[in-house]
Structure 1
Amino acid sequence: MPVDTVEEYADGLCYTDLMAGYYLGAPDEVLQAIADYSAWFFVWDDRHDRYVVHGRAGAWRRLRDRLHTALDSPRSHLHHEDALVAAFADSVGRLYAILPGTWNARFARHFHAVIDAYDREFHNRTHGIVPGVEEYLALRRLTFAHWIWTDLVEASAGCELPPAVRKHPSYRRAALLSQEFAAWYNDLCSLSKELAGGEVHNLGISLITHDEMTLEEATAELRNRIQECVVEFMVAEGEALRFADGLADGTVRGKELGIAVRTCVGNMRNWFSSVYWFHHESGRYAVDSWDDRSTPPYVSNEAAGE
């Protein structure tokens, strides 16, 4: 954004407020690193959108490849000519400093998959392909970065969870539901904007196209799925907390893991309230007040990064 646009819109977008509500209890420097990374993610999403809208396939491929490279070597990209790449390297480098290298490798693996998913979305959008419902749901778990945000609950708790804990069905289920709620609520709140822009990537649009629903029926179905996430999470949360209690086996390590899992599950719960608040407070979704319902007024159509 130009400087005057930042002054007018940045605070109203509430990006850092969103993270502050997700990751309660994190040390200030950790929360700042997560918040900066989240703000970067929104900017990257807008850049990707502009490249789709204006058919800048070459620019997108260059950005995609640069992000893949910067993810594996952030230090060497801190002064990259594209500010988006440099900012990514800076935020990833700070996230990598929080937990051990094994967590960093997992985060990198998960984000490489996110970049590839954005590449598939670019292809679908530029070719007018609306994914089927199940295909879309699987892809959305990547474009929304489900496992990245779940990795970061460990960073906010200051504890890398071992695979046996992280992959336990009760913990995994609670994590997935918190993210599904966030992604589908985002689709619900973005539906007007994305229909106005001729979009193809939204659960509501997949339901309309492939299940032959009306807009009203698709909206109702989205709401039902979102409500079911809330109900199912409360069951999964109880199971995950009982699992956490079982980790406290009388050893110091067991006690630490039990506390860490409780902290992580607590922040999974925080996703629900923070996501709901954000979508009704952030100017990112105030489509009724925009001159063009398909494009937020703060988004520039300039060929950023070229």
Structure 2
Amino acid sequence: MTRLDSFTVPDFHLPFGNSKHPQAARANAEATTWVVRHELVTDAVEQFAGIGFGHLAGRVSGEVPFETVVLLAEWMAWSFVLDDQHDHLIRTGELDAWRPVVDTITTYLETGTADGAPARRNPLVSGFIDLCDRILDGMPEGPAARYRAHVPLMLRSLDQEAGNRGAGGRPTVQDYVLMRRHSSQMLPMMDMVEAGLGLDVPQRIHDLPEYRALIASAVDVISWGNDVFSLPKEYSCGDNNNLVSLISSWEGCSLPEAVREVEGRIQARIEEYLAGERLLEETLEARGETDPQVRAAVARCVRSYEDWIIGADLWQRYECTRYSDERFAAGLESAYTRPGLVSVA
């Protein structure tokens, strides 16, 4: 990997507006309280709250009730702990402790029970169960089925990330892009937002290649942008699960040059997203999808993806301390990471 001498996150020129829920700060505080109550974080709580998951939830959730913003913020907070704990196990060589947690979560999604599982009382598992029960309670059938499908894919992508950090584990850029769509952890959150908005886009629409391509474009833009924001940390600790690092490595260019390459890819992906919006509209017309409720739900979901694209960027730039924290940028574990959490029973 080439040297990272200086680093500035470019302006990605995202052509969307964004508004934030007026009680986003309160949602952040309540989600932090939830994390502490479940003993997912016990130290450096203020630093953990600085991630600003409530602000991100407030930017992407649209005009939903405050309780829905809080639930999304709690899920986001849990996801950050999940990600950091997985990173901790990779660093310490304790990945064997990961499997019982993942198996229990997956079983609970499939059966609604985790009775007798040794990991049942682990804070990551008990926190997940609390969230999962409330997320699925009253969730429309379509988003619920997609949420149940997306969470295991998200967990599996973390296993792929671990493999990529092993000896000779450098993935190709294309393989990484496909994995990143799940390791971003955004798809279950998008399901939650769709349901929170009172929408249930039929599965036949979700299955359209044009609809799937639109979601992929949105997730790619957000994920690649996040890779630029998190580059100092991942470069410092030798983690090659980063689009900038991989382009630098595979194409033999400097990291600043790779940042410019990713910036160009993001701009091209934005153009593809905008073209995809138009193509989806044309496809629905050609298929005779004229039900006004269906068309309105699709249009609102598409606008939600725009909220995600611009909202995630604004959150990272202005409301999240995670990527500017000195420990994080130096490739060190955050002060709030709780050693031994995964093995707690």
Unpaired segments ≥5 residues, structure 2: 1-39
| More displaced 10-residue stretch of structure 1: 151-160 or 239-248 | 239-248
2:107 to 69, 75, 81: 69
User: TM-score when scaled to structure 2?
Assistant: 0.78
2:121 to 66, 77, 81: 81
* 3-state SS of 2:120 partner: coil
Contact 1:124–1:130 (CA<8 Å) still a contact in 2?
Answer: yes
AA in 1 matched with 2:44 = T
- After TM superposition, the structure 1 = structure 2 runs for residues 158-173 of structure 1, keeping only pairs within 5 Å, are 158-173=198-213
| Amino acid in the other structure paired with 1:56 | E
Retained in 2: the 8 A contact 1:157–1:260?
A: no
Q: Is the 8 A contact 2:57 2:73 kept in 1?
A: yes
Measured in 2, the distance between the counterparts of 1:2 and 1:137 equals 31
* Contact 2:48–2:336 (Cα < 8 Å) also in 1: no
1:58 and 2:93 matched: no
Q: Equivalents in 1 of 2:303, 2:196: separation in Å? A: 11
Summarize the alignment of residues 11-160 of structure 1 with structure 2, pairs less than 5 Å apart.
Answer: 11-74=49-112, 76=114, 80-127=120-167, 129-160=169-200
Q: 1:46 touches 1:299 (CA, 8 Å); kept in 2? A: no
Closer, same or farther in 2 for the Cα pair 1:262/1:277, shift >3 Å? same
Cα offset, 1:295, TM superposition: 2.2
Helix, strand or coil: the match of 1:284? coil
Higher relative contact order (CA 8 A, sep 6+): 2
Does structure 2 conserve the Cα–Cα contact (< 8 Å) formed by 1:99 and 1:159? no
C-alpha spacing 1:241/1:34, structure 2 compared with 1 (3 Å): farther
Residue deviations 1:55-93, cap 9 Å, x none?
A: 102112222222222322455479932111111111111
Q: What letter matches 2:76 in structure 1?
A: S
Corresponding position of 1:262: 299
The separation in 2 between residues aligned to 1:114 and 1:49, in whole angstroms, is 15
What residue number does 2:11 align with?
none
**Higher deviation after alignment, 11-20 or 239-248:** 239-248
Q: 2:337 aligns with which of 291, 300, 303?
A: 300
Q: How many residue pairs get matched?
A: 300
Distance 1:154 1:174 in 2: 15
1: CA distance between counterparts of 2:201 and 2:123? Answer: 33
* Structure 1: gaps spanning 5 or more residues: none
User: Is the 2:72–2:189 Cα contact (8 Å) retained in structure 1?
Assistant: no
Q: Distance in 2 between matches of 1:135 and 1:51?
A: 23
Query: Which 10-residue stretch deviates more, 200-209 or 68-77?
Result: 68-77
The 3 A distance-change label for structure 1 pair 153 and 2 is closer
Residues 55, 126 of structure 1: 8 Å contact kept:
no
The aligned residue for residue 179 of structure 1 is 219
Q: 1:271 maps to which residue?
A: 308
Q: Helix, strand or coil for the counterpart of 1:98?
A: coil
> Percentage identity across aligned positions?
26
User: Counterparts of 1:278 and 1:241 in 2: how far apart (Å)?
Assistant: 30
| 1:201 aligns with one of 208, 217, 241 | 241
Alpha-carbon distance, 1:170 to partner: 3.7
